[in-house]
Amino acid sequence: MSRFFTTGSDSESESSLSGEELVTKPVGGNYGKQPLLLSEDEEDTKRVVRSAKDKRFEELTNLIRTIRNAMKIRDVTKCLEEFELLGKAYGKAKSIVDKEGVPRFYIRILADLEDYLNELWEDKEGKKKMNKNNAKALSTLRQKIRKYNRDFESHITNYKQNPEQSADEDAEKNEEDSEGSSDGDEDGVSAAAFLKKKSEAPSGESRKFLKKMEDEDEDSEDSEEDEEWDTGSTSSDSDSEEEEGKQTVLASRFLKKAPATEEDKKAAEKKREDKAKKKHDRKSKRLDEEEEDNEGGEWERVRGGVPLVKEKPKMFAKGTEITHAVVIKKLNEILQARGKKGTDRASQIELLQLLVQIASENNLGEGVAIKIKFNIIASLYDYNPNLATYMKPEMWQKCLDCINELMDILFANPNIFVGENILEESENLHNVDQPLRVRGCILTLVERMDEEFTKIMQNTDPHSQEYVEHLKDEAQVCAIIERVQHYLEEKGTTEEICRVYLRRILHTYYKFDYKAHQRQLTLPEGSSKSDQDQAENEGEDSALLMERLCKYIYAKDRTDRIRTCAILCHIYHHALHSRWYQARDLMLMSHLQDNIQHADPPVQILYNRTMVQLGICAFRQGLTKDAHNALLDIQSSGRAKELLGQGLLLRSLQERNQEQEKVERRRQVPFHLHINLELLECVYVVSTMLLEIPYMAAHESDARRRMISKQFHHQLRVGERQPLLGPPESMREHVVAASKAMKMGDWKTCHSFIINEKMNGKVWDLFPEADKVRTMLVRKIQEESLRTYLFTYSSVYDSISMETLSDMFELDLPTVHSIISKMIINEELMASLDQPTQTVVMHRTEPTAQQNLALQLAEKLGSLVENNERVFDHKQGTYGGYFRDQKDGYRKNEGYMRRGGYRQQQSQTAY
């Protein structure tokens, strides 16, 4: 019977062509059925059984290859199409990925594609030359890849940290593909051997994720030997099948093998020993080859796929004569790589330091050393190309040491001249007969050093010990600035001296001089002039230093910015040391408030800080009205933190984009320069309380009274709305409770709310002379409470004794007499003083009906004029003079005249 008509079932046996040998059929449903056998021509084409994993990974690999080809020709549209197909193919392979893990080649294409798109996006010129489709596809694909990569963020981060592993795997995959194709062409491997190989050893794709490039050769040879071994064993078990032309059922290959004999075990053991020996011989041979290569010169073994590092420029060959020209030439070679992509900045700094050592060993002179040190410091500044990043501690310490070494050389060699106006052609680095001339500006390096120090302090957590450690470096920074100041005073220009003076001022103006303060307190009043001179010679006071530096800038500076900064720092220093009148006069004479809005933001921040310090100084002196006026603009805005450069508000962050936020953060003042915002608010609110409460009592019945501070009135209303009033806790609650007590004329309760242990710890103990401030505050509370009491209860009394008022408010009699006299003179209180009896006689009369009608008419006419002014100003686009007069009335000390005027009209009609 022809073999094409051969059939099989569960009950029948299968016969071969000769009919001599019977083969046992496997038990089972589908395996018992014999498949249709192919002809001899069709048997020549080998059938390969592939797993689902291989199929899915091959699909992903083909798509990735297409994407990389499109990246090479900058076809972004094709990249977008293939990326969408890649995402779908990955979704189909999701079940396999969950078992095996995300393949490295997939992570690599995601990372490479994102970097490629970012490069295209940053290339402005290239984007302009793109056609419309590519430009649109670039924007779309960039958004998609950024969103898609969020799910693989950790994998991409690991890949970027260790790209060598991925590169090795790719190289291994290529070799295994080539081996697989060559194995597929061989005819000697049977189906059983193929299946056994699949089950015992990892497949080419799965082995890709387990092996390294170093063991590729050994593994491939081992797999070939295993393949031969398996083939031999299989052929011995099924000789009859091979003789029959491999036409038996494929399922029979899965039958259990017969147990191996002792001889087979020995042969297998010997085979393994031979393999291990061969492997060891190969490794030793490779090591010998590497040693031979190293003998021929400096060679470095490079792993596949790792980006090549640019070769470091060699210093000098053996036997080279070290001269000035050779060293300068080598210096220029090193500097040529500066700023280029792929340049190792750390190695560049090391090479420059090595070059300095070589120059000093060969006694090439100080001129060459200075020139190289200038470039070392510049390279240290360039180590972080990003403006937002700050220097690492080791780099910062290197920078300070290098600048100190440079200054030592300059002070030790006065015949060396450095300057940025010296051309490189006119430099003199080695001719000792003439003065040495080196191109470079020491002041620019010091200014950059100061900026780096500020950047370090801005980016350090202010509540950590690290901030304290960095702050200790300010002593070194100030010492370097002082050394540069002494150097430039001898050899610098006027402009350079002004610039270095400003740097010295910026590190001095915010520091309270405790030594000078102690000397001023301990110096007896009857001491002679010589004793004072001796005390001043012990150390220059910061006040004298600021006076000397600022006056030089006032006289010599030609730029408005340096002079403006110097004036503001001078005012700040005066105010910090309670020299109120000098600070106020300097502020008024400078007229900075007229054009400060045109200055750059850092100067505006300095102006705001100065005004705040000026207001605090006025408060310490007891000048509550001046303190309120100085702090009004900052505190009424509700953005004191932002205006002082001490942080950004959350609501303002939403109005800025990311770039603007970075710029704002670079303008922030370091933490050790901050002004306590709670102290500032307390000073403002207490000053407002001392002004507002008497004013409210004097104009209680006036419907058109104006508010001195809306913020204070808001806090009072909030306090009044609370249904249950407990003991105050925050600073604002203390001030509101004190205001209510003052309104009733109860100064003792007001005093207990303002000055207590909690308020002392939060606010008052922060002042340099806390006891004096507390004493002043008690006196102001007594005086303003007396005024409030007289305004509130004057209608109750016909007369009141000044001695009674003196006992109530614990003020001496002359002070009470002075306060009441001022109130009568300013027509705030309609009364008269009876000197013999020391009493205050109140003048009170009831208005007649005609006077009441006249007052009503005056009110209605006033409202009519007001409405008319509003309509007119609305048409003209300006705000009328009526309100300007009303607004300026308080500033001209006319704030309390309305009640007095009313009393004056009554007194005139009475007589």
pLDDT band at 717 (very low <50, low <70, confident <90, very high): confident
* pLDDT for the residue 288: 63
How does the average pLDDT of the chain come out, rounded?
75
Q: How confident is the model at residue 42 (pLDDT cuts 50, 70, 90)?
A: very low
- Of 12, 16, 11, 10, the residue nearest 37 (C-alpha): 16
Given a cut of 50, whether residue 705 has pLDDT beyond it is yes
What pLDDT score was predicted for residue 567?
94
In a domain, 376, yes or no: yes
Q: Which domain holds residue 389?
A: 321-492
CA 39 vs. chain centroid, Å, equals 75
- Return the exposure string of 724-752: e unless at least 16 CB atoms fall within 10 Å of the residue's CB, then b: eeeebeebbbbbbbbbbbbbebbbebbbe
Please report the pLDDT score of residue 79 as a whole number.
Answer: 92
Q: Render the burial of 350-370: b for 16+ CB within 10 Å, e for the rest.
A: ebbbebbebbeeeebbbbbbb
**Do the domain assignments include residue 410?**
yes
* Residues forming a β-bridge with 23: 14
Q: How many CA atoms are closer than 13 Å to the CA of 681, on its beta-carbon side?
A: 20
pLDDT of residue 498: 93
Could you tell me if 566 and 539 are in contact, meaning their C-beta atoms sit under 8 angstroms apart? no
Q: Which of 376, 368, 492, 373 is nearest to 428 (CA)?
A: 368
pLDDT band at 62 (very low <50, low <70, confident <90, very high): very high
Mean pLDDT of 342-367: 82
**Per residue in 655-678, pLDDT tens?**
677 788 888 888 889 999 999 999
pLDDT in tens, 561-615: 999 999 999 999 999 988 999 999 999 998 888 888 888 899 999 999 999 999 9
What pLDDT score does 421 carry? Answer: 81
Centre a 10 Å sphere on the Cβ of residue 298 and count the other Cβ atoms it contains. 7
Span 197-226, mean pLDDT?
A: 43
Q: Rounded distance, CA 114 to CA 149, Å? A: 9
Domain membership of residue 860 (yes or no) is no
Listed range (649-653, 858-862, 898-902) with the worst mean pLDDT:
898-902
pLDDT digits over 97-116, tens only? 888 888 888 889 999 998 99
Higher pLDDT, residue 594 or 890? 594
Percent of the chain with pLDDT over 90: 16
Average pLDDT estimate for 732-736: 88
Q: Is the pLDDT of residue 818 over 80?
A: yes
The H or E element containing residue 438 is strand 436-439
- Alpha carbon distance 556, 637 (integer Å): 37
Q: How confident is the model at residue 484 (pLDDT cuts 50, 70, 90)?
A: very high
* Residue-level pLDDT at 523: 60
Q: What is the mean pLDDT of residues 247-274?
A: 61
Would you say 427 and 405 are in contact if contact means Cβ atoms under 8 Å apart?
Answer: no
Residue 873: the pLDDT is: 79
Domain closes at, from 827, 842, 857: 842
The more confidently predicted of residues 225 and 52 is: 52
The answer to whether residue 397 is domain-embedded is yes
Cα gap 453→480, rounded to integer Å: 13
The pLDDT of residue 847 is: 62
Q: Is the model's pLDDT at 858 over the cut of 80?
A: yes
Indicate whether 896 pLDDT > 80: no
Residue 75 inside a domain? The answer is yes
Give 319's pLDDT tier (boundaries 50, 70, 90). Answer: low
Final residue belonging to a domain, choices 145, 160, 175: 160
For residue 38, the tally of other CB atoms under 10 A from its CB is 13
Is residue 60 included in any domain, yes or no?
yes
**DSSP H or E segment with residue 765:** none
CB burial of residue 212 (10 Å; 0-12, 13-18, 19+): middle
| Report field, pTM of the whole predicted structure over 0.75 | no
193-197, 406-410, 812-816, range with the lowest pLDDT: 193-197
Quote the number of domains for the chain. Answer: 3
pLDDT surpasses 50 at 91? yes
Whole-number Cα distances in Å, 529 to 520, 533, 534, 535, 544: 14, 6, 9, 10, 17
pLDDT of amino acid 566: 93
Average pLDDT of 2-10?
43
| Domain end residue (candidates: 94, 127, 160) | 160
Q: What percent of the chain has pLDDT over 70?
A: 72
Counting Cβ atoms within 10 Å, is residue 278 exposed (0-12), middle (13-18) or buried (19+)?
A: middle
Is 788 within a domain?
yes
Residue 384 lies in a domain: yes
